[in-house]
Amino acid sequence: MILKSFQLIDKKMPEINIKNLDNKRIEFTLPCETALLKLITAHVDLLHSCGGKGRCTTCKLKVWSGSENISEETHSEQNFKRLGALKADERLACQCVPLGSLEVSVPKSSQMPHLSYNF
Ligand code: FES
C-alpha cells in the first residue's frame, strides 16, 4: 500500500468504536495509521492472514457509520468488491486509514475464536 498524505476530518485524532466488542473505543495517536496497525498495537486481535498486504480479506471490518471519515478504497479493496469478496459496507483494516470517528464491527468471517463478540 502506498501511503498518501492524509487530512484529518474535524482536526481531531481518529477514533474507532468496535460495536461487537462491547463498544471498545480505540483512539489514534498518529493520523496515518491503518486500522489494522492501530488495532494490533491497541491489543485488539484481528485476523490478518496475508500480513496486511491486502491479499486475503481476513481483516474485514463492517463500517456502520463514519465511512466518509476513511481514506479512499485501495485498488486491492476495489478488486475484492468487484469479485464479491468484500461487501459495499466493508473495508480491509490493513488498507484503510481512519481520518475521523467511525463505528465498525468485525464480521463473522473475520472473528477470532478466543474473543467474545456481541454479534
Ligand atoms: S490482512 Fe490480508 S487483506 Fe488485510
Tens-place pLDDT, residues 83-110: 999 999 999 999 999 999 999 999 999 9
Report which ligand 1 atom has the smallest distance to the Cα of 95. Answer: 4
Q: Is residue 8 part of a domain?
A: no
Number of domains in the chain: 1
Q: Is residue 39 part of a domain?
A: yes
How far away, in angstroms, is 118 Cα from ligand 1 center? 23
Indicate the pLDDT class of residue 1, thresholds 50, 70 and 90.
very low
CATH classification of the domain holding 73: 3.10.20.30
Give the pLDDT of residue 9.
62
Question: Does residue 40 have its Cβ closer than 6 Å to ligand 1?
Answer: no
| Mutational pocket test of ligand 1: of 38, 49, 110, the residue with most ligand atoms within 8 Å of the beta carbon | 49
Report which ligand 1 atom has the smallest distance to the Cα of 52. Answer: 1
Give the pLDDT of residue 13.
84
How far away, in angstroms, is 117 Cα from ligand 1 center? 20
Question: Does residue 48 have its Cβ closer than 6 Å to ligand 1?
Answer: yes
Q: Is residue 9 part of a domain?
A: no
Q: Is residue 117 part of a domain?
A: no
Tens-place pLDDT, residues 17-72: 999 999 999 998 877 899 999 999 999 999 999 999 999 999 999 999 999 999 99
In SS3 terms, the chain reads as CCCCCCCCCCCCCCEEEECCCCCEEEECCCCCCCHHHHHHHCCCCCCCCCCCCCCCCCCEEEEEECHHHECCCCHHHHHHHHHCCCCCCEEECCCCCECCEEEEECCHHHCCCCCCCCC
Query: What is the extent of the structural domain holding 23?
Result: 15-110
Q: Is residue 7 part of a domain?
A: no
